[in-house]
Amino acid sequence: MRRTMSFLIGATIGGVIGAAIALLFAPLSGRDLRLEIGNRTEAFATDIRQAANTRRIELQERLEVLRTPVPSKPAE
């Protein structure tokens, strides 16, 4: 029990110190940082959508090729 409490106190203190350091060394203010994160998230989501659409089109084309009947050879 004592070790658990020591760990929790240490983790809490470490978290507070880490958060303070992160705030001091953040490249942008809070509002600007949130906007930048939102912009990057939106750009990432757009890239994923574009990649998924490209892959979907490729797979549809391959499916069409696979569905096309193969001409049979004339009997000899």
Confidence of residue 75 (pLDDT cuts 50, 70, 90): low
pLDDT at residue 23 is higher than 90:
no
- Which are the contacts of 75, defined by CB distance < 8 A and separation ≥ 6? none
pLDDT at residue 76 is higher than 70:
no
As separate numbers, helices (DSSP H) first and strands (DSSP E) second, the chain gives 2, 0
CA distance 49 to 61: 18
User: Over the stretch 30-72, which tens digit does the pLDDT of each residue have?
Assistant: 788 889 889 999 999 999 999 999 999 999 999 999 998 877 7
